[in-house]
């Protein structure tokens, strides 16, 4: 829709009653958006920022007043008249024919949302919730598809699907759109999956238009409907599951690559160093991966409940075909959940391996520290032994130095003089006495250690030779 089509005066012209209702609807939507339902920077249809909306829509009526007309439905120049035509049937359950139709919207403008809100009794929260990722009124994360169903009784209903435009999301902040990055596999994985296809070209899932997929499905594939409006969501549910299957497959491939890369790096690190910081980073990455997987599991569980797959008691007993469809869907979703659960178990085991690696690293570090402590002790002992040798040498040198300093080694006591012998007469006896005293202490200590060693050997030998004796306390005393 162009900017001129979004002008409220132009869009609402010609119908005063609808004009008043849509104006009140718009005011209510702005009030809800401003009262902290959405973040301030979140873009939504009623934000006062002029922008062009490429809104595309398709309407399908499977049963109703406009089916099998001779000339077919008329053509319209604007969406207002077209929607008013299709939704002109009574909504009180008194219509002559049963009306069942589906409306598929890709993007939405404020004027179109206001008109649909009035015609189908859709609250503004439905459109606003689609624009914000923190509001849980949708059936899928990223808000690719939102659904609203309206039943009027007598089996009549209208289902509305609101889709994000291809390669963009309505809940993006600001007016910019993001183009998803292309994902190039190392091999033609899609060809391996679609083995029966006769086509040569395959479009990756994230490049496919959800709108075009739903339109082709509802146009070309027979549908199974019942009185419950939710039965109209069958194709949409399958599209959502296809997106999740692609997401889980990519996560599984990424998870496998993480484990292989960790094993390779662990072998490399073992050659030159232990884990330390690298192990901590890898462990933290696995924790984040596990948390993300658990979030995906919770999303899948929430989707299966919203799709009414875990509780099929609401289905009529005679509607066996719908029950089979729901059962098959539930099995497919459970399979995705089991894949995520298996990845969570593998991560848990891998994180235990990190604990073992950390313990091994601590033991290795303790061994290194023990060896360094032993080497330091050996060095200290060597220094102590060297100090002992120096003490013994000092025992000889110090007396000589002392005597020399006393006699000053000058005058008649100097070397070569007539009283030089006095130096030797004093220093030699003193040195010998000190030397023998040191040696005697060493010998006494050695003899004492030798006696202790011989004594311990003797005690051990006596204990080894003495036979073991047992006393029988129950033996009878000899008679006297």
CA separation for the pair 437, 441 (Å, rounded)? 6
Q: Is residue 146 within 8 Å of residue 139, measured between CB atoms?
A: yes
Q: Give me the torsion for CA of 225, 230, 234, 235, rounded to 10°.
A: 110
> Is 477's pLDDT higher than 50?
no
Residue 312 CA to residue 303 CA, distance in Å, equals: 15
Structure token pair of residue 154: 């007598």
Residues above pLDDT 90, as percent of the chain: 4
Lowest mean pLDDT among 17-26, 118-127, 254-263: 254-263
Q: Name residue, tokens 């007539």.
A: 418
Work out the angle between the directed axes of helices 320-407 and 277-306 (0-180°, nearest 10): 160
Residue with more model confidence, 230 or 281: 230
**The predicted structure's pLDDT at residue 103:** 93
Six-digit token string for 357: 């690696």
Decide if 224 contacts 231 (C-beta within 8 A). yes
User: Which whole number is the average pLDDT over 13-22?
Assistant: 78
Per-residue confidence (pLDDT) for residue 474, from 0 to 100: 45
The whole-angstrom separation of Cα 323 and Cα 315 is 7
CB 102 within 8 A of CB 161: yes
Quote the percentage of the chain above a pLDDT of 70.
66
Position 441 confidence tier, pLDDT thresholds 50, 70, 90? low
**Tokens in use for 110?**
């404020």
Supply the pTM of this predicted model: 0.62
pLDDT beyond 60 at 59? yes
How many CA atoms within 13 Å lie on the side-chain side of 459? 6
Q: Which tens digits make up the pLDDT trace of 170-225?
A: 444 444 444 445 545 444 444 444 444 455 555 555 566 788 888 888 888 888 78
Query: Which residues in 350-395 belong to E strands, given as ranges?
Result: none
Dump pLDDT digits (tens) for 288-301.
Answer: 888 888 888 998 88
pLDDT band at 333 (very low <50, low <70, confident <90, very high): very high
pLDDT tops 50 at residue 432: yes
Structure tokens at 301: 């569980």
Residue-level pLDDT at 309: 82
Distance CA 426, CA 418 (A): 15
Residue 307: CB partners within 8 Å, gap ≥ 6?
A: 139, 233, 237, 329, 333
Distance (Å, whole) CA 11 – CA 23: 11
CA angle 213, 60, 92 (to 5 degrees): 135
For residue 319, is pLDDT > 80?
no
Q: What torsion do the CA atoms of 136, 141, 146, 148 make, to the nearest 10 degrees? A: -40
Q: Which residue has the higher pLDDT, 379 or 41?
A: 379
The whole-number average pLDDT for the span 88-114 is: 83
Specify the pLDDT at position 3: 41
pLDDT category of residue 340 using cuts at 50, 70 and 90: very high
In angstroms, rounded to a whole number, what is the distance separating the alpha carbons of residues 142 and 210?
13
Q: Give the pLDDT mean for 436-462.
A: 74
Quick: pLDDT tens for 224-261.
Answer: 788 888 888 888 888 888 888 888 888 888 888 877 77
Question: Is the sign of the CA dihedral 114, 116, 117, 123 positive or negative?
Answer: negative
Return d(Cα 343, Cα 255) in angstroms, integer.
8
56-63 and 100-106 strand pairing: antiparallel
Q: What pLDDT, on a 0 to 100 scale, did the predictor assign at position 243?
A: 82
CA angle, residues 328, 330, 331, in degrees to nearest 5: 65
pLDDT of residue 207: 61
Q: Report the pLDDT value the prediction gives residue 77, as an integer from 0 to 100.
A: 78
- Using the structure block, give the residue that is written with the tokens 């077209």: 82
To the nearest 10°, the Cα dihedral for 201, 202, 207, 210? Answer: 110
Output 185 or 151, whichever has higher pLDDT.
Answer: 151
Alpha-carbon distance 246 to 307, whole Å? 19
**pLDDT tier, 40 (very low <50, low <70, confident <90, very high otherwise):** confident
For residues 281 and 366, the answer to whether their CB atoms sit within 8 Å is no
CB 435 within 8 A of CB 396: yes
Q: How many Cβ atoms from other residues are within 10 Å of residue 87's Cβ?
A: 19
130 vs 436 pLDDT, higher one: 130
Task: Find how far residue 77's CA is from the centre of its chain.
Answer: 50
> Could you tell me how far CA 109 lies from the centroid of its own chain?
36
181-218 burial: b if 16+ Cβ within 10 Å, else e:
eeeeeeeeeeeeeeeeeeeeeeeebeeebbbebbbeeb
Q: Where are the domains of the chain?
A: 1-221, 229-386, 408-456
> To the nearest whole number, what is the mean pLDDT of the chain?
74
Alpha-carbon distance values, 368 to 97, 129, 362, 438 (Å): 88, 60, 10, 40
How large is the average pLDDT for residues 139-151? 69
Enumerate residues 6+ apart whose C-beta is below 8 A from 31. Answer: none
431 contacts 399 by C-beta, under 8 angstroms = yes
């Amino acid at each position: 829709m162009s900017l001129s089509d979004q002008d409220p005066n132009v869009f609402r012209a010609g119908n005063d009653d609808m004009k008043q209702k849509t104006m009140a609807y718009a005011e209510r939507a702005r009030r809800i958006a401003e009262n902290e339902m959405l973040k301030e920077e979140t873009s939504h249809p009623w934000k006062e920022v002029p922008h062009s909306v490429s809104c595309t829509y398709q309407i399908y009526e499977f049963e109703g007043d406009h089916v099998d007309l001779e000339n077919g439905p008329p053509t319209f120049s604007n969406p207002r008249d077209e929607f008013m035509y299709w939704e002109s049937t009574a909504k009180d359950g008194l219509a002559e024919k049963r009306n069942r139709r589906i409306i598929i919207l890709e993007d939405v403008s404020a004027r179109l949302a206001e008109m649909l809100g009035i015609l189908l009794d859709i609250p503004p929260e439905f459109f606003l919730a689609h624009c914000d990722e923190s509001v849980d009124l949708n059936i899928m994360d990223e808000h690719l598809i939102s659904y609203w169903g309206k039943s009027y009784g007598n089996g009549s209903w209208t289902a509305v699907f609101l889709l994000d435009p291809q390669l963009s999301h309505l809940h993006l902040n600001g007016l910019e759109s993001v183009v998803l990055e292309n994902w190039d596999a190392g091999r033609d994985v899609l060809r391996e999956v679609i083995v029966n296809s006769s086509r040569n070209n395959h479009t990756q899932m994230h490049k496919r238009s959800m709108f075009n997929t739903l339109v082709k499905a509802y146009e070309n594939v027979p549908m199974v409907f019942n009185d419950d409006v939710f039965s109209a969501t069958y194709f949409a549910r399958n599209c959502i599951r296809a997106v999740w299957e692609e997401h889980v497959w990519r996560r599984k491939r990424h998870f496998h690559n993480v484990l292989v890369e960790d094993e390779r790096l662990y072998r490399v690190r073992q050659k030159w160093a232990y884990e330390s910081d690298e192990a901590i980073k890898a462990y933290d990455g696995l924790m984040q991966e596990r948390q993300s997987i658990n979030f995906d599991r919770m999303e899948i569980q929430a989707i299966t409940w919203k799709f009414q797959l875990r509780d099929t008691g609401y289905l009529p007993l005679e509607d066996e075909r719908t029950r089979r469809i729901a059962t098959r869907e539930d099995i497919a979703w459970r399979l995705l959940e089991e894949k995520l659960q298996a990845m969570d178990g593998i991560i848990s085991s891998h994180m235990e391996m990190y604990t073992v690696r950390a313990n091994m690293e601590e033991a290795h570090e303790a061994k290194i520290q023990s060896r360094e402590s032993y080497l330091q002790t050996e060095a200290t002992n060597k220094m102590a032994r060297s100090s002992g040798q120096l003490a013994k040498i000092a025992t000889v040198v110090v007396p000589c130095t002392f005597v020399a300093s006393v006699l000053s080694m000058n005058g008649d006591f100097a070397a070569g003089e007539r009283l030089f012998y006095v130096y030797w007469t004093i220093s030699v006896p003193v040195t010998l006495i000190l030397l023998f005293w040191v040696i005697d202490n060493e010998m006494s200590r050695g003899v004492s250690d030798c006696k202790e060693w011989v004594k311990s050997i003797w005690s051990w030998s006596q204990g080894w030779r003495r036979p073991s004796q047992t006393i029988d306390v129950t033996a009878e005393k000899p008679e006297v």
